[in-house]
Amino acid sequence: MKSAPLIRIGICGLGTVGQGVWRHLTRVRGDLETRLGVRLELARASVRDLRKPRSVRLAPSRLTTDALEVATDPNIDIVCELIGGTTVARDVTLAALGCGKVVISANKALICGHGAEIFAMARKHGGHFLFEASVAGGIPIIKALREGLVANRFPLIYGILNGTCNYILTQMEEQDAPYTAVLGEAKRLGYAEADESLDVEGWDTAHKAAVLAYLAHRTWVKPSQMIVEGIDRITPADFKHAAALGYGIKLLAVIARDFATDELSVRVHPTLLPESHVVAKVSGVFNAVSVRGDVAGTTLYIGRGAGQDATSSAVISDLVDAVSLLKNDRRAFITARKESGPEQRAPGCRLAPLGHIRCRYYLRLKVSDEPGVLARIAAAMAAQKVSIASVIQSAQEPAGSASLVLTTHVSDERAMGATLARLARLGCVQEPPLLLRIGDFAD
Ligand code: HSE
């Protein structure tokens, strides 16, 4: 192997994922070298604090606190950006691509916010940007969309894209555990983002949905152009109400394109799914992505969506593609050039007005338990032509209050938004209602 070309890898950010990549790459390096016909060297890494204890050992001479030094080091061929965030990570990514390197990233927030700029930089300087680890952890969903399903158009992609939220929802449902205790556990297990509001408020899922929407539809959708709602208002009682109606609750991303009107919509929200639906049974840190292709039909991908090992697996898969690119392997080149090659836009794909999105709804209200309340609520809904499908009422603390759970027939976001505004004005409604969507995904 001495005569085999030497490929040098730099890792920017030796946090949970960076240390996992280092550890697993050290373990599988010999095998990969044989299969790829190259020598791989874990050349350098950047960290924030040189003295912080780490699970991987590396010579002090390989460590620096300057991520840009690694990104622009002329001896380094592949840069793994595992810093997170969108400031230093953006500088590092653009600097490395500006040097024509291959950059591997797990950073969905960065791609969502700066993807167009990053891909343009890669095109301009002949670099490549690979991002399998950015969506759904260990599930090779990026490869599935752009390679395995390349013959398809995608009318519907939906799924669980945030392991932290799925872990929290599962624990709340199965253990009747309080939200804050479960969130603490998810952080300890290394699932949550440094800023956990990204997870629980739905933004991390929105970033990942933006990446999938771009891959599937060549259209950048900003979170501000999506419905984005998190899980922080869901209570154990909602799981009980949902179960009584035959549903589980999952935080889903839904990317829908109507090819007749060519309208695309992207939304992220807690969703009631029929208990029998396979995605409703996906629990813990697992993610699930259902992809409806117009040629292949529906395919479903389930796997660990967060955590050191799952994410490292995806980064190392990109490393193998990166080596193929550096060796000018035609197959890998075809794989990567969709993003790094000339800008491509889906002709005629435009965003649907959010108010047009249609589904059935679940509405939980805390109301005064007195005569006429149900009639006033029904009237507020009828005024927006929202038709009630079912009502469950139960007593609630303090005495004189009641919990009302209503489901609706199919309505739309505009009508439901107007209904919520009307309900908020009623004196008998004691706190802001909780609105959840019901997912009717016929596969
Ligand atoms: N915080 C993310 C999650 C990590 O829980 O899914 C993986 O992207």
Mean pLDDT of 159-178: 94
Count CB neighbours of 358 within 10 A: 11
Mean pLDDT of 420-424: 96
Mean pLDDT of 389-417: 93
> Where residue 123 falls among pLDDT bands split at 50, 70, 90?
very high
Contacts of 29 (CB under 8 A, 6+ apart): 40, 42
**What separation in Å is there between the alpha carbon of 305 and the centre of ligand 1?**
6
What are the pLDDT digits (tens) for 92-120? 999 999 999 999 999 999 999 999 999 99
| Of 27, 1, 2, 22, the residue nearest 10 (C-alpha) | 22
- For residues 103 and 429, give the distance between their C-alpha atoms in angstroms, rounded to a whole number: 53
The ligand 1 atom at the shortest distance from the C-alpha of residue 106 is: 8
Please name each of the domains of the chain with its CATH number.
6-137+309-337 (3.40.50.720), 141-305 (3.30.360.10), 357-437 (3.30.70.260)
Pocket test of ligand 1: the residue of 132, 164, 200 to mutate, having most ligand atoms within 8 Å of its CB, is 164
What are the pLDDT digits (tens) for 309-359? 999 999 999 999 999 999 875 444 444 545 654 455 555 689 999 999 999
> Where residue 193 falls among pLDDT bands split at 50, 70, 90?
confident
pLDDT at 68 over 50: yes
Q: Measured at the alpha carbon of residue 177, what is the angle toward residues 174 and 179, in degrees to the nearest 5?
A: 120
**What separation in Å is there between the alpha carbon of 244 and the centre of ligand 1?**
30
Residues that are catalytic = 208
**What separation in Å is there between the alpha carbon of 165 and the centre of ligand 1?**
8
pLDDT at 55 over 90: no
- CB within 6 Å of ligand 1 — which residues? 137, 162-164, 191-193, 199, 204, 305-306
